[in-house]
Amino acid sequence: MADFARKICLLGDFGVGKSSLVARFVRNTFSDRYLTTVGVKVDSKQVVVANDSVKLVIWDIAGKNALDALNQTYLRGASGVILVADGTREPSLRSALYLLMQAKSLLQNPAAVMLVNKIDLIDRWEILPATLEELRTTMPVFESSALNGVGVDAAFQDIARQVAQ
Amino acid sequence: MSTPFPEAVDRHLRDVLIDRAHPLVLSIDGEWNLLAAKGDCAYWGFVADQREEALQTVRDLFLGIDLSVEQGFQFVELPQGQAAHLHLVPDGAQMHVVLLDARGDSERQRAGQQLGNEAELAGIEKNRAINRLKQIRSELECQRERLEEANALKNAFMATLSHEFRTPLTSIFGYLHLLERRLAHDASTQHSLRAIRRGATHLLGLSENLLEYGRGESGRSRLNPIRVEPEQLAEDLRVMFNPLAREEGLGLTIEAESVPVPLIHDEVRVRQIMINLISNAIRYTPRGSVQASLRWDGEILALRVIDSGIGIAPELRSQIFKPFNAGGQQGSKGAGLGLSIVKRLVDQMHGTLRLESVPGEGTRFEVDLPPLGSTQASTDPIARQTGDPESWSIGGTALVVDDDEDIRELVRTLLRDLGFQVHTASDASEGFEAALRLCPDVAIVDVQMPGLSGNAAVYRLRAQGYKGRIISLSADDSLDAREAALSAGSDSYLTKPINIERFVRAVRVAAEKSA
């Protein structure tokens, strides 16, 4: 069993639930209190991919709709990016796609997955199913909920599989 | 070169800054072995048995980074909770990592950023609320309805209560239907089944009345217009009340004329009016007969219920439409809600209600209801199906997703009777996976399930490009709930308790489209 580590960055607009997703994935906890992230918050978790143990070092970068100079430094050395959008805020999906474009200009062929969060609030979603159907042809897309855990492990497992290759 | 500070000031400044920054310098070789640690080791956890873990944390921060050039990261919150400014300084064969406490800066920045972000989120919510208000105002203008926000919580509570009543009633009526078809037709068995149906019918009427009463005057002001078939409705009422009338030794006729054009009305309310009037008539008719009819004269849907019962004294007639008026009539046995509900429903549909009664001879109720929509075209594809649903053998594959085991098994049995090969799933996530894997001709998905809701599962399926037919099943008969399910991607929407004939029609429509 190989044992190695990879750096993964979470990118997305503020308030989409990046820190909550990390808390759900790493500690299996959830708080509905919104607490903004300053700079970056680093966590890690070991996952198993095809008999290999991969340590994901997760950089939860403060939410913005574009990467400023400070946030660009955090991307150094990253193998993959997890884009996060809020299903109840359609513009957050556009922000996530813009952030992906910026990340691709700074990193060489980063692995990427898209998490569209807050599926527990499905009745308030502004993103159409067809939009995600189309997006899914370009990258893995997961509808998720940090509140009840839907889609969270699957998304992190997917990025782990990609960066382990 | 700047002028040096006086030595005492310089010493003071260094002390203050060091106190604030808790600096730590780690000297490390190329293999990340710690050569020396100088500074506030305790603050950063570089003590005794925590040293290895702390060093690993720092090492992780420089994962994938070129260590031969100077690097720096500002405002990094570490897994142990400290906030740091980090600097990496190469120095020949070794390198130094400098950690400075950023907690103060971080907290100050967080305070400002939190306010800004919360203000922006509040702005988004505010805009959303304004748009919603505009939409509501538009709906109000179009439909001349009044919605009060204060009723939202109450409606949600009633929806939950409704689910709690209707889900077990779905099981009772569904399995009763199966038993009536399958069990021996001897007198004892038939007597038992009639007793069960009588009790269940009473319970259904009572619960529907209680729910309607609980919703209040304004709780259900939105009507739900779909195609109504008077003949089908009359047949349903005969199935429901014939056993009861036989038990009481009463003659019961329920008639309806076929309507040449599609008749658009609120079927649930029309049905509830007829159930209450017939139930009331049977209850207060010790001998003789009850006659009921549904007729469409081109402008008005006329409901008539005439009995030869005890009648209503003139002085009681103003009382009987008030709630909980069980003592109003001689020998009364019900909860006293039925006629008050009838009046409310008729008012909601802008209809008229008349009462004629002769004590000792009988009572005649007349309800006239205007149509709710165009009588030229039906919006309900399920209602357009005609013929005997029991004779249809459809076939194909089906998936049933419901957390309630009894309902799941009931729907499975019904689908098997229709010739389907049936798969089941007990929650939305399992159902989501099964639908993608099996691609059934028809998926029946319960809306209200713990965890991922049925609507969320349907949405996720459609977002995956799933093209199979989906029928949502819910205890909530409101237009909002129907629209939410259809918006999520369902093809049709059925309510509990399941009307067997309507269920069969819906499955047939779905299977035909799938084919």
ipTM, two decimals, is: 0.86
CA distance A70 to chain B (A): 8
Q: Where are the alpha helices (DSSP H) in B144-249?
A: 151-182, 187-215, 230-248
Q: How large is the average pLDDT for residues B19-38?
A: 91
- pLDDT attached to residue A19: 96
Is 60 exceeded by the pLDDT of residue B331?
no
- B448: chain A residues, CB-CB within 8 Å: none
Is 60 exceeded by the pLDDT of residue A24?
yes
Backbone angles phi, psi at B398, to 5 degrees: -140, 155
B414 by DSSP, 3-state: which?
helix
Can you tell me the distance from the alpha carbon of B197 to that of B177, in angstroms, rounded to the nearest whole number?
9
- B427: chain A residues, CB-CB within 8 Å: none
What's the number of CA atoms in the CB half-sphere (13 Å) around residue B196?
A: 17
Burial of B250 (0-12, 13-18, 19+ CB in 10 A): buried
- pLDDT attached to residue B388: 47
- Cα separation of the two ends of chain A: 14
Can you tell me the distance from the alpha carbon of B430 to that of B451, in angstroms, rounded to the nearest whole number?
11
Q: Hey, which residues does B492 pair with through a beta bridge?
A: B471
Gyration radius of chain B over CA positions? 35
- Cα separation of the two ends of chain B: 86
Verify whether the Cβ–Cβ distance B75 to A132 is below 8 Å. Answer: no
Can you tell me the distance from the alpha carbon of B506 to that of B21, in angstroms, rounded to the nearest whole number?
70
B305 Cβ under 8 Å from any chain A Cβ:
no
Can you tell me the distance from the alpha carbon of B464 to that of A153, in angstroms, rounded to the nearest whole number?
18
Instruction: Dig out the tokens for B305 from the structure.
Output: 């219920």
Is 80 exceeded by the pLDDT of residue A23?
yes
Residue located via tokens 């009307």? B499
Question: Which residue of A30, A36, A89, A133 is the best one to mutate when testing the B interface, meaning the one whose CB has the most B CBs within 10 A?
Answer: A36
Is 90 exceeded by the pLDDT of residue B450?
no
Question: Which residue of A14, A34, A38, A134 is the best one to mutate when testing the B interface, meaning the one whose CB has the most B CBs within 10 A?
Answer: A38
Instruction: Dig out the tokens for B197 from the structure.
Output: 């149906």
Kindly report, residue by residue over A108-154, the tens digit of the pLDDT.
999 999 999 999 999 999 999 999 999 999 999 999 999 999 999 99
How high is the mean pLDDT of chain B?
A: 83
Nearest to B267 by CA among B303, B318, B305, B292: B303
CA B37 to centroid of chain Cα atoms: 60
Verify whether the Cβ–Cβ distance A119 to B460 is below 8 Å. Answer: yes
Instruction: Dig out the tokens for A32 from the structure.
Output: 């509905």
Please report which confidence band the pLDDT of residue A2 belongs to, taking 50, 70 and 90 as the band edges.
low
Verify whether the Cβ–Cβ distance A38 to B113 is below 8 Å. Answer: yes
Nearest to A44 by CA among B57, B88, B260: B57
B135 Cβ under 8 Å from any chain A Cβ:
no
Verify whether the Cβ–Cβ distance A14 to B102 is below 8 Å. Answer: no
Verify whether the Cβ–Cβ distance B117 to A63 is below 8 Å. Answer: yes
Nearest to B113 among A36, A40, A150 (CB): A36
Can you tell me the distance from the alpha carbon of B34 to that of B17, in angstroms, rounded to the nearest whole number?
26
Task: Return the residue of B nearest to A148 by Cα.
Answer: B451
Pairs of CB atoms within 8 A across A/B: 114
Kindly report, residue by residue over A46-92, the tens digit of the pLDDT.
999 988 899 999 999 999 888 888 888 999 999 999 999 999 999 99
Question: Which residue of A9, A122, A138 is the best one to mutate when testing the B interface, meaning the one whose CB has the most B CBs within 10 A?
Answer: A122
Verify whether the Cβ–Cβ distance A133 to B73 is below 8 Å. Answer: no
B67 Cβ under 8 Å from any chain A Cβ:
no
pTM, full prediction: 0.57
- B114: chain A residues, CB-CB within 8 Å: 35-36
In degrees to the nearest 10, what's the CA dihedral of B222, B228, B231, B236? -50
- pLDDT attached to residue B393: 57
Verify whether the Cβ–Cβ distance B60 to A119 is below 8 Å. Answer: no
**Rounded to a whole number, what is the largest CA-CA distance in chain A?**
44
Is 80 exceeded by the pLDDT of residue B198?
no
Backbone angles phi, psi at B369, to 5 degrees: -125, 130
CA A54 to centroid of chain Cα atoms: 17
